[in-house]
């Protein structure tokens, strides 16, 4: 396992981060099996784990808490807040000063710990002033309940705005950003990654396998394997575009094997080219995908999100061998730098461009 410092925090983390979204009712409901998977990752050298309160509505954090017993001091624990934790209580969501302290206490209880190493805002909150968000998070740092704070899937303008507000108001700065990044989702190479480098922020990428597309299992004319990651919405009865709290999930299950939608057709074509490259280079599709992400100088860690032990073991070698320059060049030829193959998969869309009413203000 290889390690890297998280931005300018001085905290050293493994280049593979264990994501826990698939532990609990949303993925693997077997707590004992999930704990075994987590322990196997720790034994392999992973010292960085990422969760969120909304993953199976707290169950993922509870499972992680069980796995951390006796090993807490060795692991850098990251979790997140923001998405609704109740369909009935309106203020159990977002990034407000009223919700952040309670959300933190709830996560601490579920994790069975008295501090969180990295506490992240899961998405930008257009309804809350970033000054209030940073102020509440800074209070948690000063109280010793949180060691570092971070953001997740923030556009570059919000990252810079948060940095300036923290500088001006004396708040704690974000130490990291967690955007989606993969060979099929390269839009963040244009601004997000350069901005994070300039500000000294670590970058923890989610979905480096693009929800399974970069494993080689998704092919034209082949029935797509079932995946809880695609079939189960993160939040219950909530239209994210109406609420302003996030972005809509793409209707993957119905479209995975339908290449009449041009961006999906491009994905199918790219998968075939990648399979050819994999065979010619002797590098597995998974190692190509992980190696590509980790080759970017702004990247600290790539989050792997296994549901089973087999899925974990096939991804653990992702940092073993850096990709040769000629292989990286061929990957650039398949998907040009700065390109999102499927529009909207970059994790955010500026609301001024997706809501007509905002364009006319």
Is residue 266 classed as helix, strand or coil in its secondary structure?
A: helix
Instruction: Note if the pTM is more than 0.85.
Output: yes
Domain of residue 93, residue span: 3-359
Q: Which runs of E-coded beta strand occur in the chain? A: 3-5, 12-14, 16-19, 48-50, 76-81, 116-121, 146-152, 174-178, 202-205, 301-304
State pLDDT tens for residues 209-264.
998 999 988 887 776 665 555 544 444 333 343 333 333 344 444 444 566 677 78
pLDDT of residue 174: 98
The answer on pLDDT for 358 being more than 80 is no
Q: Is 57 a catalytic residue?
A: no
Residue 232: Cβ within 10 Å count: 14
CATH, residue 329:
3.20.20.100
Q: What is the pLDDT of residue 244?
A: 39
Q: How confident is the model at residue 350 (pLDDT cuts 50, 70, 90)?
A: low
Q: What are the tens digits of pLDDT across the range 23-78?
A: 999 999 999 999 999 999 999 999 999 999 999 999 999 999 999 999 999 999 99
Tokens at residue 324, please?
Answer: 């040769």
Instruction: Spell out the residues 6+ positions from residue 312 whose beta carbon is closer than 8 angstroms to its own.
Output: 37, 40, 41, 304, 306
Q: 55, 119, 181, 348: which is the annotated catalytic residue? A: 55
Handedness of CA 360, 191, 295, 180 (dihedral sign): negative
Say what the pLDDT of residue 70 is: 95
Q: Which two tokens stand for residue 340?
A: 């999102």
Q: What is the pLDDT of residue 314?
A: 92
56-92 burial by CB neighbour count: b if 16+ within 10 A, else e? bbbbbbbbbbebbeeebeebbbbbbbbbbbeeeeeeb
Q: For residue 232, what pLDDT is reported?
A: 43
Average per-residue pLDDT for the chain: 88
Q: What is the pLDDT of residue 85?
A: 84
* Calpha distance 9→174 (Å, rounded): 10
How many angstroms separate the CA atoms of 21 and 50, rounded? 8
In angstroms, rounded to a whole number, what is the distance separating the alpha carbons of residues 226 and 17? 24
Quick one: pLDDT at residue 345?
A: 83
Domains held by the chain: number: 1
Percent of the chain's residues with pLDDT above 70 = 85
pLDDT, residue 254, reads 41
Model confidence at 277: pLDDT above 60: yes
Dist. CA 245–CA 34, nearest whole Å: 30
Does residue 284 contact residue 278 with C-beta atoms inside 8 Å? yes
């Amino acid at each position: 396992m290889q390690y890297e410092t998280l931005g300018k925090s001085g905290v050293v983390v493994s280049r593979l981060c264990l994501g826990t979204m698939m532990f609990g009712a949303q993925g693997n409901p077997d707590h004992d099996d999930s704990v075994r998977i987590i322990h196997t990752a720790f034994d392999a050298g992973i010292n960085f784990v990422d969760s969120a309160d909304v993953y199976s509505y707290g169950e993922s954090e509870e499972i992680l808490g069980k796995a951390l017993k006796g090993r807490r001091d060795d692991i850098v624990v990251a979790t997140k807040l923001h998405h609704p934790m109740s369909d009935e209580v309106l203020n159990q969501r977002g990034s407000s000063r009223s919700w952040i302290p309670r959300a933190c206490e709830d996560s601490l209880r579920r994790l069975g710990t008295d501090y969180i190493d990295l506490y992240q805002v899961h998405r930008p909150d257009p309804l809350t002033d970033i000054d209030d968000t940073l102020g509440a998070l800074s209070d948690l740092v000063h109280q010793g309940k949180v060691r570092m704070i971070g953001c997740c899937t923030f556009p570059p303008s919000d990252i810079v705005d948060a940095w300036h507000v923290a500088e001006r108001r004396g708040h704690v700065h974000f130490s990291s950003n967690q955007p989606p990044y993969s060979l099929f989702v390269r839009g963040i190479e244009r601004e997000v990654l350069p901005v994070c480098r300039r500000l000294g922020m670590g970058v923890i990428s989610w979905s480096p396998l693009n929800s399974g597309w970069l494993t080689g299992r998704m092919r034209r004319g082949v029935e797509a394997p079932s995946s809880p990651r695609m079939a189960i919405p993160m939040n219950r009865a909530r239209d994210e575009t109406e609420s302003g709290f996030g972005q809509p999930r793409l209707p993957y299950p119905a479209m995975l094997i339908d290449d009449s939608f041009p961006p999906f057709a491009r994905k199918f074509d790219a998968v075939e080219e990648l399979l050819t490259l994999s065979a010619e280079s002797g590098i597995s599709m998974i190692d190509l995908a992980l190696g590509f992400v980790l080759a970017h100088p702004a990247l600290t860690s790539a989050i792997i999100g296994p549901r089973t032990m087999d899925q974990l073991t096939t991804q653990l070698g992702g940092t073993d061998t850096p990709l040769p320059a000629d292989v990286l060049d061929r990957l650039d030829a398949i998907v040009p730098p700065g390109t999102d193959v499927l529009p909207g998969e970059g994790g955010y869309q500026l609301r001024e461009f997706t809501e007509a009413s905002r364009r006319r203000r």
